[in-house]
């Protein structure tokens, strides 16, 4: 069977690694697999055999500009999409597996016209957020918006991803998405959480079957991994509170980490992975910043070195960072946002009400005392 996956990235980031994990699994069963991607020229060498790039960086920039000015995210990249679909015709997949089709690299109307022209092709679509059934946003929890259930008419968060600084075009976007994404034969939707499945069944995508398939991680990589991380960063005697994100912003709880840094005493050190260069320059003194790493092995070593992994996410689907931290033997404290509670399995981990930093600190202290007592007993 020929399988074609489409995602914004290949082999990097959470969704990129999900795609390559699936590719390896299907290849082991004898299937031919390709992953079409549109963002970043960086593809780990071992995954380049799967990779097919859609467009180029210049096309991405043009798509970004169209989004910023006209609020038409997903409606640029026409030439890149047409060229890619010509290649896809020759590849002739038996199974098309969509993942993130937003991200400034593909034209969803052209893509779905092509899909509908191939009624015998099996189609799966893993939703990693809510973008597919809104007029603009990828999440709406913080905005407390429920327009997506009926019809988006105005957007209260046009400055959030995919940000626009021109007109609010969400009403027309909603109509165009609904027209494009409905009426597809042989389409099955997949969500990584029950939380997102419930939302999807309330949206205009309700005509399709929805399966919950939890994302998995590579247990051969994410496992207790000793390293000299503490020594390299001078954190030998500190209680390390770790945070990891692909992009740090308000939604991921960056401001909560800044507040936490002011509330913790000098026994603690906060380590944040995935920061931009600009964010690195503005860090409080008691926060250790690390830019994004594309090495899962390095990330596993950092998880292992930490005493607690804190995930102050305000909006999320199924944060695999929680899974990765627990697999490395590090207890997790996570806000109860989206499908986050579905990712916590260890008896030492904690689920906290969103924004409750006082309770977070209390749970950190209790957990560290228990760990110390356990070490003394051992």
Residues 6+ positions from 39 with CB-CB distance below 8 Å: 8, 9, 60, 103, 104, 105
| Domain total of the chain | 2
Name the domain boundary from 156, 183, 212: 212
In the predicted model, what is the mean pLDDT of residues 79-99? 98
In angstroms, what CA-CA distances link 366 with 16, 73, 219, 271, 361? Answer: 36, 46, 28, 20, 9
Strands 95-98, 51-53: pairing is: unpaired
Task: Encode pLDDT of 28-64 as tens digits.
Answer: 999 999 999 998 778 999 999 999 999 999 999 999 9
**pLDDT-based confidence at residue 378 (cuts at 50, 70, 90):** very low
In angstroms, what CA-CA distances link 179 with 132, 176, 333? Answer: 12, 5, 41
| 287 touches 261 (CB < 8 A) | yes
Residues 205 and 294 in one domain: no
Residue 124 backbone phi and psi in degrees, to 5:
-120, 150
The verdict on residue 220 lying in a domain is: no
**pLDDT-based confidence at residue 375 (cuts at 50, 70, 90):** very low
Residue 325 CA to residue 317 CA, distance in Å, equals: 17
Name the domain boundary from 212, 243, 275: 212
Rama region for 26: left / alpha / beta (φ>0; ψ in -120 to 50; rest): alpha
The verdict on residue 95 lying in a domain is: yes
| Residue with tokens 């499945």, as numbered in its chain | 197
The verdict on residue 221 lying in a domain is: no
The verdict on residue 156 lying in a domain is: yes
Residue 354 CA to residue 313 CA, distance in Å, equals: 8
**pLDDT-based confidence at residue 365 (cuts at 50, 70, 90):** confident
Residues 52 and 154 in one domain: yes
Question: What is the reported pLDDT for 174?
Answer: 98
- Token duo for residue 21: 């994990």
Residues 63 and 154 in one domain: yes
Name the domain boundary from 186, 212, 238: 212
Nearest-5° Cα angle at 6, 312 to 135: 60
State yes or no: pLDDT of 366 exceeds 80.
no
Residues 148 and 21 in one domain: yes
Residues 194 and 100 in one domain: yes
The verdict on residue 223 lying in a domain is: no
Residues 98 and 162 in one domain: yes
Residue 157 CA to residue 23 CA, distance in Å, equals: 35
Residues 73 and 187 in one domain: yes
- Token duo for residue 223: 């496992």
Residues 255 and 133 in one domain: no
State yes or no: pLDDT of 221 exceeds 80.
yes
The verdict on residue 22 lying in a domain is: yes
Q: Which of 38-42, 47-51, 316-320, 353-357 is the least confident region?
A: 38-42
Q: Is 292 exposed, middle or buried (0-12, 13-18, 19+ CB in 10 A)?
A: middle
Residues 244 and 364 in one domain: yes
* DSSP 8-state class, residue 1: -
**pLDDT-based confidence at residue 368 (cuts at 50, 70, 90):** low
Question: What is the reported pLDDT for 374?
Answer: 38
| Residue with tokens 């509170």, as numbered in its chain | 241
Residues 148 and 38 in one domain: yes
Task: Encode pLDDT of 161-198 as tens digits.
Answer: 999 999 899 999 999 999 999 999 999 999 999 999 99
Q: What is the pTM of this model?
A: 0.90
Q: Is 285 exposed, middle or buried (0-12, 13-18, 19+ CB in 10 A)?
A: exposed
The verdict on residue 217 lying in a domain is: no
- The domain in which residue 135 lies consists of 2-212
| 325 touches 345 (CB < 8 A) | no
Alpha helices in the chain, H assignment, sequence order: 13-28, 57-70, 78-91, 108-116, 170-181, 194-200, 229-232, 254-263, 277-281, 296-305, 320-327, 357-377
């Amino acid at each position: 069977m020929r399988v074609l996956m489409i995602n914004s990235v290949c082999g990097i980031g959470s969704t990129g690694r999900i795609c390559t994990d699936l590719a390896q699994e299907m290849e082991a069963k004898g299937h031919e697999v390709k992953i079409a991607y549109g963002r970043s020229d960086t593809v780990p060498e071992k995954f380049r055999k799967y990779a097919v790039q859609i467009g180029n960086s210049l096309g991405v920039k043009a798509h970004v500009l169209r989004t910023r000015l006209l609020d038409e995210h997903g409606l640029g990249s026409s030439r890149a999409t047409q060229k890619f679909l010509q290649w896809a015709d020759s590849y002739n997949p038996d199974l098309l597996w969509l993942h993130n089709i937003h991200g400034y690299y593909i034209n969803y109307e052209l893509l779905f016209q092509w899909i509908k022209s191939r009624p015998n092709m099996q189609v799966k679509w893993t939703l990693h957020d809510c973008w597919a059934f809104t007029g603009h946003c990828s999440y709406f929890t913080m905005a407390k918006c429920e327009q997506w259930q009926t019809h988006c008419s105005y957007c209260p968060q046009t400055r959030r991803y995919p940000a626009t600084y021109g007109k609010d075009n969400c009403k027309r976007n909603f109509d165009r998405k609904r027209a494009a994404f409905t009426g597809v034969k042989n389409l099955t939707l997949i969500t990584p959480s029950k939380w997102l499945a419930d939302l999807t069944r309330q949206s205009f995508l309700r005509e399709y079957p929805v399966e919950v398939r939890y994302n998995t991680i590579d247990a051969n990589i994410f496992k207790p991994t000793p390293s000299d991380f503490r020594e390299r960063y001078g954190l030998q005697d500190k209680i390390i509170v770790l945070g990891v994100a692909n992009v740090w912003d308000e939604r991921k709880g960056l401001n909560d980490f800044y507040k936490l840094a002011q509330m913790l005493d000098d026994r603690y050190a906060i380590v944040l992975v995935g920061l931009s260069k600009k964010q690195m320059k503005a860090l409080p003194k008691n926060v250790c910043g690390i830019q994004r790493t594309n090495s899962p092995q390095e990330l596993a070593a950092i998880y292992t070195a930490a005493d607690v992994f804190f995930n102050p996410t305000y909006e999320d689907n199924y944060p695999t960072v929680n899974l990765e931290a627990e697999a490395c033997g590090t207890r997790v404290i996570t806000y109860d946002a989206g499908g986050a509670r579905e990712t916590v399995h260890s008896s030492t981990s904690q689920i906290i009400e969103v924004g409750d930093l006082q309770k977070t600190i209390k749970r950190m202290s209790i957990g560290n005392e228990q760990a110390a007592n356990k070490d003394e007993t051992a």
